[in-house]
Amino acid sequence: MQLLAPLSRLRHTAALTLPLLVLLALQVPAATADDGWGSQLALATTSVSDVAPAPEIPPLPAGRTYHVGLQAGHWRTAELPAELAVLRDAAGGDFDGYREVDVSVPVAHRAAELLRQAGAIVDVLPATLPPAYKADVFVSLHADQDLHQQTWRGYKIAGSAYTAARDQTDQLVDDLDWEYAADTGLPIDARPGGITEDMLRYYGFNYRHFLHAISATTPAAIMELGFVTDAADREVIFGQQERVAAAIARGIERYLAPEAFA
Ligand SMILES: [Zn+2]
């Protein structure tokens, strides 16, 4: 029940800001009213041709195996196991038909393709993780929303609070941050409290409580790629997904093999 103390505090935050990840931390059932499944506005996913070139993905150095887990946030939440049943309705953000899953799913698949082309073995994972999932790196992809003011924007990245691989996780966050900022041009969302306990204690990180979580030693980060409620962010996260996917792939590569960028 170690989750309860930090999460109970978050109820107040959630009431004010509706951070999406609150949905994922097993509380605030009212927030699941933002469920985007079945939205009539699937047309909002219309892709726009990229306006900036995606960066190159260098090949990974030969002679090693690189195993990457990329989770598409909120993908197939209805299939979550009994231990996470309370999240089955947590289908992610949806603002005027701009759905979080219409960022997380295509971007995860495209980043995976790019990493495979570079030589990695990549699993694209839905909301349900394999038990005690192990990889060289795990990154969960999400998008945020600011339903009240619609003024917040930008990306943010957090490492697992539970990890037994602290140094590697911190390095992963730094590398993702470096590439995502440089390659997408999106600003960082550095508001105090912007990185919530719900990000740090994401259910997929919480191997202490859930079987369907990463292993203790898998370096792990969660990314909020931008706000679905911000027009400028949407231009990138919906309109330039090749660039977004390439930025994530490069961030992961920079962590796995910094020498590839030398
Ligand atoms: Zn999310």
- Interval between CA 93 and ligand 1 midpoint (Å): 7
Q: Where are the alpha helices (DSSP H) in 119-225?
A: 166-184, 197-200
- Interval between CA 92 and ligand 1 midpoint (Å): 5
List beta partners, residue 227. 144
- Interval between CA 96 and ligand 1 midpoint (Å): 16
- Interval between CA 75 and ligand 1 midpoint (Å): 10
Domain ranges of the chain: 4-29+66-261
pTM, to two decimals: 0.82
- Interval between CA 88 and ligand 1 midpoint (Å): 13
- Interval between CA 100 and ligand 1 midpoint (Å): 7
- Interval between CA 37 and ligand 1 midpoint (Å): 13
Q: Name the residue type at position 48.
A: V
| Residues 69, 180, 205: CA angle, nearest 5 degrees | 35
Q: Name the residue type at position 14.
A: A
- Kind and range of the H or E run holding 246: helix 241-256
Classify domain 4-29+66-261 at the CATH superfamily level: Zn-dependent exopeptidases (3.40.630.40)
Q: 3-state DSSP call for residue 9? A: helix
Written as one string, the DSSP assignment of 49-70 is --SSPPPP-PPPPTTS--EEEE
- Interval between CA 62 and ligand 1 midpoint (Å): 34
- Interval between CA 185 and ligand 1 midpoint (Å): 21
List beta partners, residue 220. 138
pLDDT of residue 50: 52
- Interval between CA 201 and ligand 1 midpoint (Å): 13
Each residue's pLDDT, cut to its tens digit, for the chain (262 residues) gives 222 223 333 333 333 333 344 344 443 333 333 333 333 333 334 444 456 788 999 999 999 999 999 999 999 999 999 999 999 999 999 999 999 999 999 999 999 999 999 999 999 999 999 999 999 999 999 999 999 988 999 999 999 999 999 999 999 999 999 999 999 999 999 999 999 999 999 999 999 999 999 999 999 999 999 999 999 999 999 999 999 999 999 999 999 999 999 8
Q: Name the residue type at position 132.
A: A
Distance CA 174, CA 193 (A): 18
- Interval between CA 61 and ligand 1 midpoint (Å): 33
- Interval between CA 80 and ligand 1 midpoint (Å): 15
Q: 3-state DSSP call for residue 259? A: helix
- Interval between CA 74 and ligand 1 midpoint (Å): 6
Distance CA 111, CA 57 (A): 10
- Interval between CA 98 and ligand 1 midpoint (Å): 13
Q: Would you say the C-alpha torsion 96, 54, 195, 154 has a positive or negative sign?
A: negative
Q: Please count the CA atoms within 13 angstroms of the CA of 226 that sit on its side-chain side.
A: 28
Distance CA 16, CA 230 (A): 18
DSSP symbol at 155: B
CA-nearest of 151, 225, 239, 152 to 186 is 225
| Residues 14, 4, 197: CA angle, nearest 5 degrees | 50
- Interval between CA 38 and ligand 1 midpoint (Å): 17
